[in-house]
Chains A and B, each alone.
Chain A
Amino acid sequence: MAGTAVLGRLTWRVADVVSAVAETASARTLVLDVPGWAGHQPGQHVDLRLTAADGYSTQRSFSIANAAAGSRVELTVQRVAGGEVSTYLVDEVRAGDQIELRGPVGGYFVWRPEWTDPVLLLAGGSGIVPLMAIARARAAAPAPAPTPAFASAQRSPSSSKSNQAAPKPVYGRLGSLMPARAACSSKTPDPLFT
């Protein structure tokens, strides 16, 4: 069935943190090895579960940033001020730690290698992460379709209310990896795209 992503029970798996790569001052990529991972489609996400020593537990969803590659899953996480999970993932987790996750989840916002139509990818802020998975899968495809355009911009947190400070692009390094033209706006995003 086209778009079908979840076939059976999505069981919790224990992922090993292989490395943590800083992307910007507020975002980093966790490179995970997930034994038993059956692969994923670009655009899908995982549910991640953290558990404290006393049993307290919480979950969040995170987009996958890499194209499918065996048991390797990369999650690029943007720190949210005061975020219960994002601050832990960006500031605390290190290689050798273990994290529980289940997935892949989501069968709608995906791109398939057999699709040959041109693609326009537009994102705001951390919304770029699933688009990076798509861009990377496209770059690895045997005959990539015409170049996608691509943009990501985000207001700085301090500007969200005042509308004063200029928004800052937060994924410059990721953007530079694009096989296509990367456009990170340094001005207020055009209302058409926000």
Chain B
Amino acid sequence: MPERVRVKAMMPPGHVRTPAYLRGKTGVIERALGPFPNPEQLAYGLPAPEQPLYRVRFTMSEVWGDAAERPSDTLDAEIYAHWLERL
């Protein structure tokens, strides 16, 4: 069974690389990508501890609801671990 995760629905200010349209959405881990420096600090030249990065796969129906062109088409995005909660 692929691991199910939800993107945290927080709205912090500043440089964030989690697209707003995916916040609060549920998907599955498509693959783990390894640790990368957190861009939320890196963008400001601050010490940027590494965070595990994942590719998360969402269905279009999860992201767009009834407006999805074809519900089972998918959208993959890279999301850092501190933005994900495991379900």
Do chains A and B stick together as partners? Answer: no
Give the A-binding residues of B (Cβ under 8 A): none
